Amino acid sequence: MYVVGMHDGIDFDILFAFSIQAAQASVQELRSKAGSLRQKAEEARASLAASTLQNRVLDSLTKLKQTGQIDGFHVWSHPLCNLLITHTLSHRAVSVA
């Protein structure tokens, strides 16, 4: 129930206006936080996908080494980006899927 005007020295129109402004500010703050959380979740998904791909490459290289198809491999992680560099120790052509 909304009371119009003044009652006991309280201007309810002003209180109502302040309440609306406070609610709008809260909504805007929550929208901002939700956007930030969405961005963090997207970054986490991208990081997980990159890690999964790197693990697949390492698993494939390990299997090739265990089956004798390659003699070994070296792995470097590039410091400026999320890049995995591998080098096989074999003179045979190797295809890693």
| 97 pLDDT above the threshold of 50 | no
Mention every residue, 6+ apart, whose C-beta is less than 8 A from residue 58.
Answer: 75, 84, 86
* pTM across the whole model: 0.53
Q: Structurally, how many domains does the chain consist of?
A: 1
Residue 33 lies in a domain: yes
Domain of residue 23, residue span = 8-88
Residue 2 lies in a domain: no
> 3-class SS at 67?
coil
**Closest-CA residue to 86 (of 48, 49, 59):** 59
| 17 pLDDT above the threshold of 60 | yes
> What is the band of 82 on the pLDDT scale with cuts at 50, 70, 90?
low
